[in-house]
Amino acid sequence: MRILLKTASFISIISLFLFSNIAIVQARSILLPQPTANDTILVGKGVKANNKFGYSVKLSRNRLIAGSPYYTDSAIGMQYAGAAHIYELIGNSWIQTAVLTASDAEAGDQLGTAVAISGDNAIAGAYLEDHNRVANNGAAYVFKQTDGFWSETAKLIAPDNNDDLFGLAVAISDNFAIVGQPGLGNGGSISCNGLAQQYGAVYVYEISKDSTAVPLQQKIVAPDAQACDYFGISVAISGETLAIGATQQGMFGATGTGKIYIYKLNSHTGQWELSRIIVPGNAIIGDNFGNDLALDNNTLVAGAWMKDNKNGSVYTFQNFSDPTAISDNDWRQTSFVSGETAARLGSGVDILGDKVIAGADKINSSGVSNGGYALILNKNYDNTWSISQKVTPILPEKSSWYAWAVAIDNNGFLVGAPNKTTPAGGSSGGVYVYSFPNQQIF
């Protein structure tokens, strides 16, 4: 892989290409047992036709959050204002306990396009929210659970946005809320899909100990920013490490290869500092590397859903640095998994510990066009990853977008199918719930 390394005074290019311990895996013709015998599908309360429940999903211990960006609350009559649904694991069942909506919801905001949850804190992006008399500025809303009740604690907006997609990507931890703004421009004349420049930015907010205040800590822009980079189209945080995707960035002018920027929190200054810029050695124009990211301690997972003519792929990287060392940027690629024909593998990714999940939302499944599948990867003793399961619905549905969004933890995993037809109506969407063998909780 090729990596841009920021030193104290310059950014240099290091060509590492492929390490000898990288596992290169093809997903074609892999037929492994299903982890469950029956489909278990969640459908959010109040969800109706075209609400696209399951467009985004995340897990945090015994809680999950699922976005339905086209949700229309009949009580307020705001079409496509959007919502995020909270479920609690009670016994062996997931029970919906809250529907999170914005206190100032308006039609078309699409809250829930992106969601994240960490313990008692949750965040939902509404990238088409309007404020300051400007359409589609975007916003993100932070929610907190106290004594079993969820309430909105902050509305986050960028100080310098204008139709800039703020909230299209979000992440949260116990201490920080992260919001991507991939459409941020600088007023230049170059246009990307009608928006000026779009080099992008990411905003880091600090969550107070009682979660009642969420002040802006830092705005981050790429050091090598170019027009149409979409920096901030994906974000992930784990501890004091932050990963940011820029799917349209390129090496040596190769637009659309994609890059991932790794930032570390400097405990002395309280600022996030660039540690590494990652581009895989086999990157080519149009890969969209970094379209989705997941980070757990020292392991990073990245999708490149347009690679190889939309077959898609998933990459894993590991930081082999000594935790006690001053320099903490020894990131190396450890695996590469390629998708089946036109599968768009990497549409969604997630990781926890020694398990990774990757979605492919466009592949034919059991003879059903665009039925989708998900892959489960297990970590090997040599730090590479291998496929342990290929998961498809028991009853695949055409164009359900199965595996558009995915999430995983130690006991099981979730697969979002936001275009699925349920008793709530066409394209109402659903979230499939799976347990790993010998696990009883999901």
For residues 241 and 263, the answer to whether their CB atoms sit within 8 Å is yes
Tell the residue number behind the tokens 């359409």, with chain if given.
135
Q: State the Cα–Cα distance between residues 442 and 440, nearest whole angstrom.
A: 6
Give the pairing of strands 23-26 and 195-196: unpaired
Residue 189, pLDDT above cutoff 50: no
Q: What is the reported pLDDT for 27?
A: 47
pTM for this one? 0.89
Under the banding of pLDDT at 50, 70 and 90, the label for residue 125 is very high
- Shortest CA distance to 357 belongs to which of 284, 410, 282? 410
Under the banding of pLDDT at 50, 70 and 90, the label for residue 197 is low
- pLDDT tens digits, 236-271: 999 999 999 999 886 545 567 899 999 999 989 999
Query: What integer is the mean pLDDT of 130-156?
Result: 89
Side chain identity at 54, as an amino acid letter? G
**Domain range list for the chain:** 2-435
The hierarchical CATH code for the domain 2-435 is: 2.130.10.130
Under the banding of pLDDT at 50, 70 and 90, the label for residue 133 is low
Q: State the Cα–Cα distance between residues 36 and 356, nearest whole angstrom.
A: 18
Which residue would you say has higher pLDDT here, 222 or 3?
222
Q: What is the reported pLDDT for 416?
A: 97
- pLDDT tens digits, 346-402: 999 999 999 999 999 987 666 677 789 999 999 999 999 999 999 998 888 889 999
Q: What is the reported pLDDT for 23?
A: 66
Q: What is the reported pLDDT for 35?
A: 44
